[in-house]
A and B are shown apart, each in its own frame.
Chain A
Amino acid sequence: NAGVMQNPRHLVRRRGQEARLRCSPMKGHSHVYWYRQLPEEGLKFMVYLQKENIIDESGMPKERFSAEFPKEGPSILRIQQVVRGDSAAYFCASSPPGTTGITQYFGPGTRLTVL
Protein backbone atom coordinates (compact mmCIF):
# COMPACT_ATOMS: atom_id res chain seq x y z
CA ASN A 1 0.00 0.00 0.00
CA ALA A 2 1.69 3.15 -1.20
CA GLY A 3 2.04 5.99 1.25
CA VAL A 4 1.05 9.59 0.75
CA MET A 5 2.67 10.90 -2.39
CA GLN A 6 3.58 14.47 -3.12
CA ASN A 7 5.01 16.01 -6.23
CA PRO A 8 7.11 17.69 -7.14
CA ARG A 9 9.58 17.14 -4.30
CA HIS A 10 11.35 20.35 -5.14
CA LEU A 11 9.91 23.37 -6.93
CA VAL A 12 11.66 26.58 -7.87
CA ARG A 13 9.64 29.60 -8.92
CA ARG A 14 10.40 33.24 -9.60
CA ARG A 15 8.46 35.95 -7.82
CA GLY A 16 5.07 36.45 -9.43
CA GLN A 17 4.77 32.95 -10.86
CA GLU A 18 2.27 30.31 -9.79
CA ALA A 19 3.11 27.20 -7.78
CA ARG A 20 1.00 24.04 -7.92
CA LEU A 21 1.65 21.35 -5.35
CA ARG A 22 0.02 17.95 -5.67
CA CYS A 23 -0.86 15.38 -3.04
CA SER A 24 -2.20 11.87 -3.55
CA PRO A 25 -3.52 10.45 -0.26
CA MET A 26 -3.13 6.87 0.82
CA LYS A 27 -5.59 4.46 -0.74
CA GLY A 28 -8.91 4.56 1.06
CA HIS A 29 -8.19 7.88 2.78
CA SER A 30 -10.75 10.59 2.24
CA HIS A 31 -9.29 13.34 4.43
CA VAL A 32 -6.40 15.54 3.33
CA TYR A 33 -4.53 18.18 5.32
CA TRP A 34 -1.95 20.69 4.16
CA TYR A 35 0.77 22.15 6.39
CA ARG A 36 3.60 24.61 5.92
CA GLN A 37 6.95 24.30 7.67
CA LEU A 38 9.52 27.07 7.78
CA PRO A 39 13.17 26.18 8.57
CA GLU A 40 13.74 25.27 12.21
CA GLU A 41 10.02 25.52 12.98
CA GLY A 42 7.13 23.15 13.55
CA LEU A 43 4.32 22.56 11.11
CA LYS A 44 1.56 25.12 10.69
CA PHE A 45 -1.89 23.91 9.70
CA MET A 46 -3.24 25.42 6.51
CA VAL A 47 -6.35 23.58 5.37
CA TYR A 48 -8.36 20.40 5.85
CA LEU A 49 -10.34 18.94 2.95
CA GLN A 50 -12.55 16.02 2.21
CA LYS A 51 -13.49 14.99 -1.30
CA GLU A 52 -14.91 18.05 -3.05
CA ASN A 53 -15.25 19.97 0.23
CA ILE A 54 -13.12 22.39 2.20
CA ILE A 55 -13.82 21.64 5.87
CA ASP A 56 -11.44 24.03 7.65
CA GLU A 57 -9.28 26.62 5.91
CA SER A 58 -8.58 28.75 8.96
CA GLY A 59 -4.82 28.43 8.47
CA MET A 60 -4.79 29.54 4.84
CA PRO A 61 -3.68 33.06 3.94
CA LYS A 62 -6.69 34.96 2.63
CA GLU A 63 -5.06 35.91 -0.64
CA ARG A 64 -3.12 34.01 -3.29
CA PHE A 65 -3.59 30.59 -1.68
CA SER A 66 -6.24 28.05 -2.60
CA ALA A 67 -6.74 24.31 -2.20
CA GLU A 68 -8.97 21.70 -3.72
CA PHE A 69 -9.55 17.97 -3.45
CA PRO A 70 -11.62 16.93 -6.47
CA LYS A 71 -13.68 13.80 -6.76
CA GLU A 72 -11.04 12.32 -9.01
CA GLY A 73 -7.34 13.01 -8.83
CA PRO A 74 -4.96 14.46 -6.29
CA SER A 75 -5.43 17.35 -3.91
CA ILE A 76 -3.88 20.57 -5.20
CA LEU A 77 -2.44 23.46 -3.20
CA ARG A 78 -2.14 26.47 -5.46
CA ILE A 79 -0.13 29.58 -4.70
CA GLN A 80 -0.55 32.46 -7.10
CA GLN A 81 1.95 35.29 -7.58
CA VAL A 82 4.49 33.73 -5.25
CA VAL A 83 6.70 35.91 -3.06
CA ARG A 84 9.97 35.07 -1.32
CA GLY A 85 8.14 34.58 1.98
CA ASP A 86 6.30 31.61 0.46
CA SER A 87 9.56 29.63 0.41
CA ALA A 88 8.99 26.70 2.76
CA ALA A 89 8.34 22.98 2.89
CA TYR A 90 4.71 22.12 2.26
CA PHE A 91 3.46 18.84 3.65
CA CYS A 92 0.31 16.97 2.91
CA ALA A 93 -1.19 14.36 5.24
CA SER A 94 -4.12 12.01 4.88
CA SER A 95 -6.26 10.06 7.28
CA PRO A 96 -8.91 7.38 6.90
CA PRO A 97 -12.59 8.11 7.53
CA GLY A 98 -13.53 8.30 11.19
CA THR A 99 -10.12 9.35 12.53
CA THR A 100 -10.27 13.06 11.85
CA GLY A 101 -6.94 14.62 12.71
CA ILE A 102 -5.85 11.94 15.13
CA THR A 103 -4.11 9.53 12.80
CA GLN A 104 -2.38 11.35 10.01
CA TYR A 105 0.11 9.96 7.55
CA PHE A 106 2.43 12.50 6.02
CA GLY A 107 3.93 12.72 2.60
CA PRO A 108 7.60 13.58 1.98
CA GLY A 109 6.80 17.23 1.30
CA THR A 110 7.39 19.71 -1.49
CA ARG A 111 10.17 22.19 -0.94
CA LEU A 112 9.28 25.45 -2.61
CA THR A 113 11.99 27.98 -3.30
CA VAL A 114 11.01 31.40 -4.59
CA LEU A 115 13.82 33.31 -6.25
Chain B
Amino acid sequence: TQLLEQSPQFLSIQEGENLTVYCNSSSVFSSLQWYRQEPGEGPVLLVTVVTGGEVKKLKRLTFQFGDARKDSSLHITAAQPGDTGLYLCAAVHTGGFKTIFGAGTRLFVKA
Protein backbone atom coordinates (compact mmCIF):
# COMPACT_ATOMS: atom_id res chain seq x y z
CA THR B 1 0.00 0.00 0.00
CA GLN B 2 1.40 3.36 -0.97
CA LEU B 3 1.20 5.93 1.79
CA LEU B 4 2.14 9.57 2.10
CA GLU B 5 3.13 10.70 5.57
CA GLN B 6 3.11 14.38 6.35
CA SER B 7 4.85 16.11 9.22
CA PRO B 8 4.28 17.95 11.37
CA GLN B 9 0.54 17.37 11.69
CA PHE B 10 0.03 20.78 13.26
CA LEU B 11 2.15 23.94 13.29
CA SER B 12 1.45 27.23 14.99
CA ILE B 13 3.91 30.06 14.37
CA GLN B 14 4.22 33.83 14.54
CA GLU B 15 3.95 36.03 11.50
CA GLY B 16 7.35 36.51 9.88
CA GLU B 17 8.77 33.12 10.84
CA ASN B 18 9.98 30.53 8.35
CA LEU B 19 8.73 26.95 8.29
CA THR B 20 9.14 23.67 6.45
CA VAL B 21 6.63 20.85 6.14
CA TYR B 22 7.44 17.40 4.85
CA CYS B 23 5.82 14.68 2.81
CA ASN B 24 7.46 11.26 2.91
CA SER B 25 6.87 7.86 1.42
CA SER B 26 8.66 4.57 0.91
CA SER B 27 7.31 4.49 -2.65
CA VAL B 28 8.53 6.20 -5.78
CA PHE B 29 6.11 8.49 -7.57
CA SER B 30 6.21 9.91 -11.07
CA SER B 31 4.88 13.22 -9.77
CA LEU B 32 3.72 14.82 -6.57
CA GLN B 33 1.31 17.66 -5.94
CA TRP B 34 0.88 20.14 -3.11
CA TYR B 35 -2.53 21.59 -2.31
CA ARG B 36 -3.81 24.13 0.18
CA GLN B 37 -7.26 23.78 1.66
CA GLU B 38 -9.11 26.41 3.66
CA PRO B 39 -12.02 25.60 6.00
CA GLY B 40 -15.21 24.89 4.14
CA GLU B 41 -13.53 24.81 0.73
CA GLY B 42 -11.98 22.31 -1.62
CA PRO B 43 -8.20 21.88 -2.03
CA VAL B 44 -6.47 24.29 -4.39
CA LEU B 45 -3.50 23.04 -6.37
CA LEU B 46 -0.29 24.93 -5.58
CA VAL B 47 2.31 23.03 -7.58
CA THR B 48 3.18 19.76 -9.31
CA VAL B 49 6.75 18.45 -9.13
CA VAL B 50 7.89 15.83 -11.58
CA THR B 51 11.67 15.55 -11.75
CA GLY B 52 13.82 14.19 -8.91
CA GLY B 53 15.65 17.06 -7.25
CA GLU B 54 13.32 19.62 -8.79
CA VAL B 55 12.82 22.90 -6.97
CA LYS B 56 9.88 25.19 -7.72
CA LYS B 57 9.21 28.60 -6.25
CA LEU B 58 5.84 30.28 -5.90
CA LYS B 59 6.40 33.70 -4.31
CA ARG B 60 7.34 32.89 -0.69
CA LEU B 61 6.77 29.16 -1.12
CA THR B 62 9.55 26.80 -2.21
CA PHE B 63 8.76 23.21 -3.16
CA GLN B 64 11.36 20.49 -3.52
CA PHE B 65 11.02 16.95 -4.85
CA GLY B 66 13.52 14.48 -3.43
CA ASP B 67 16.20 13.05 -5.69
CA ALA B 68 14.67 9.58 -5.41
CA ARG B 69 11.14 10.94 -5.95
CA LYS B 70 9.95 9.49 -2.65
CA ASP B 71 9.63 12.67 -0.63
CA SER B 72 8.97 16.37 -0.91
CA SER B 73 9.13 19.48 1.20
CA LEU B 74 7.38 22.83 1.27
CA HIS B 75 9.22 25.79 2.74
CA ILE B 76 7.45 29.07 3.50
CA THR B 77 9.51 32.18 4.07
CA ALA B 78 8.21 35.01 6.27
CA ALA B 79 4.86 33.38 6.91
CA GLN B 80 1.76 35.58 6.92
CA PRO B 81 -1.67 35.04 8.50
CA GLY B 82 -3.02 34.49 4.99
CA ASP B 83 -0.88 31.33 4.76
CA THR B 84 -3.06 29.70 7.42
CA GLY B 85 -4.65 26.53 6.12
CA LEU B 86 -4.31 22.79 5.60
CA TYR B 87 -1.42 21.81 3.33
CA LEU B 88 -1.85 18.48 1.58
CA CYS B 89 0.56 16.50 -0.53
CA ALA B 90 -0.78 14.03 -3.08
CA ALA B 91 0.53 11.59 -5.65
CA VAL B 92 -0.95 9.38 -8.31
CA HIS B 93 -0.93 5.70 -7.42
CA THR B 94 1.67 3.90 -9.52
CA GLY B 95 0.14 2.03 -12.42
CA GLY B 96 -3.30 3.39 -11.84
CA PHE B 97 -5.43 6.46 -11.64
CA LYS B 98 -6.03 6.71 -7.95
CA THR B 99 -4.62 9.78 -6.24
CA ILE B 100 -3.53 9.30 -2.64
CA PHE B 101 -3.38 12.17 -0.19
CA GLY B 102 -1.40 12.68 2.96
CA ALA B 103 -3.30 13.56 6.11
CA GLY B 104 -2.08 17.13 5.85
CA THR B 105 -0.23 19.72 7.92
CA ARG B 106 -2.49 22.24 9.56
CA LEU B 107 -0.69 25.60 9.69
CA PHE B 108 -1.78 28.53 11.83
CA VAL B 109 0.09 31.81 11.48
CA LYS B 110 -0.54 34.31 14.25
CA ALA B 111 -0.44 38.02 13.57
Contact = CB atoms under 8 A, between A and B. Distances in A.
Partners in one complex: yes
A102 B92 contact: yes
B8 interface: no
A70 to B, nearest CB: 20
B interface residue count range (under 10 / 10 to 19 / 20 to 34 / 35 or more): 20 to 34
Interface in B78-111: 88, 90, 92, 96-104
A12 interface: no
B7 interface: no
A interface residue count range (under 10 / 10 to 19 / 20 to 34 / 35 or more): 20 to 34
B42 A56 contact: no
A103 to B, nearest CB: 7
B44 interface: yes
Interface string A1-20: 00010000000000000000
Given A102-B31, A102-B48, A109 B42 contact: yes
A43 B44 contact: no
A102 B33 CA distance: 7
Given A101-B99, A102-B33, A91 B43 contact: yes
Contact of A106 (B6, B31, B43, B103): B43
Contacts of A56: 96-98
A106 B42 CA distance: 6
Interface of A: 4, 33, 35, 41-45, 48, 55-56, 58-59, 91, 93, 100-109
The 3 closest A-B pairs by CB, nearest first: A106-B42, A101-B92, A42-B101
Interface of B: 6, 31, 33, 35, 40-45, 48, 88, 90, 92, 96-104
Given A4-B42, A42-B102, A48-B97, 9 more contacts: A33-B99, A42-B103, A42-B104, A55-B97, A91-B43, A100-B92, A101-B98, A103-B48, A107-B42
